Amino acid sequence: MNTTITALILLLLTQNNSGTEFKILAEGIEYSKVELKNYSDYTGELHLIRINPQIIKPRVLISKEQNIKPMTAKDWCNKFNLNIAVNLGMYHKDFSSHVGYLKNGEYINNPKFNEYKSALLINPSEKHMPYATIIDLDNPDEKIMIKKYNTVVQNLRLIKGNGINVWKKTGQSWPDAGIGTDKKGNLIIFFTSTPVLVYELNEILLKLPLGIIKAFHTDGGPPASLSVHIRDFHLDLSGNLISKEQEPIPNILGFGTRD
């Protein structure tokens, strides 16, 4: 057999075995499912959605701003004709206020910044800027970008700078939902129903050939949710290990419009 063809076959087999080959769901949206055992001592799956925010613009939807009750991620998709819905972030006991600063255009859900050091910025005032990006709030050069974006979502940081895990090897394990950004400016939603230590989840994300440089946590345990509905691809995931059913959540990050 031709050595070039043999090398190509081996390369393809390596990509398939890695579990990180992405399937195109629509222009600007790709999906991959990774077996955790290939990168850790955990079993279960890690779901990855890679989105180009210049093509598929994210939407922040807040139940209090919309004057509606919290819904499951699947119901958020159905009501607002979305392809994707994931937790926007953790919320207070009032079941509506975001934990951390949250501004969506003129609407301010929470006016106070807390100690969390990550923020998602959406919808810039200047056209040359990325439509959506993640910044480190303890980096002064990045923090000043807040003034140039209409939507700001503060969240609990997982990975900072150019791919640095900021967590320690201790703590509680839980199912997890989060969002990161890669070197090309794509947003990457990640979700696992498997209880994992945050440090080890970060290490898995950094081991994968994703090019993730920053990431934050959006929720864990039973409220953690991800729904994807694109053409014939349907996925409704929950961090509820008992019922497996999604719980109502007050605020989401949504993408796309149903075909």
226 within domain boundaries? yes
CA 170 to chain centre: 23
72 within domain boundaries? yes
| pLDDT at residue 34 greater than cutoff 60 | yes
Confidence at 257, pLDDT banded by 50, 70, 90:
confident
Q: How many domains does one find in the chain?
A: 1
pTM: 0.92
191 within domain boundaries? yes
Name the residue range of residue 172's domain.
Answer: 25-88+157-255
| pLDDT at residue 21 greater than cutoff 70 | yes
Average pLDDT over every residue of 82-90: 98
149 within domain boundaries? no
Average pLDDT over every residue of 118-133: 97
| pLDDT at residue 8 greater than cutoff 90 | no
| pLDDT at residue 25 greater than cutoff 50 | yes
Q: Are 188 and 180 in contact (CB under 8 A)?
A: yes
216 within domain boundaries? yes
As a whole number, the mean pLDDT across the chain is: 93
| pLDDT at residue 48 greater than cutoff 60 | yes
236 within domain boundaries? yes
Comparing 152 with 5, which gets the higher pLDDT? 152
Helix, strand, coil percent content, the chain, rounded in steps of 5? 20, 45, 40
213 within domain boundaries? yes
Among 13-27, 59-73, 176-190, name the one with the lowest average pLDDT: 13-27
Amino acid 259: pLDDT: 59
| pLDDT at residue 38 greater than cutoff 80 | yes
| pLDDT at residue 12 greater than cutoff 70 | no
Residues contacting 174, CB < 8 A, separation 6+: 195, 196, 220, 221, 224, 239
Residues contacting 14, CB < 8 A, separation 6+: none
CA neighbor of 194 nearest in space, from 24, 41, 79 = 41
Q: Are 184 and 204 in contact (CB under 8 A)?
A: no
Share of the chain above pLDDT 70, in %: 92
Amino acid 11: pLDDT: 38
Average pLDDT over every residue of 222-234: 97
| pLDDT at residue 5 greater than cutoff 90 | no
Q: Which residues of 164-177 are buried (b: 16+ CB within 10 A; e: fewer)?
A: ebbbeeeeeebbbb
188 within domain boundaries? yes
| pLDDT at residue 175 greater than cutoff 80 | yes
Amino acid 26: pLDDT: 96
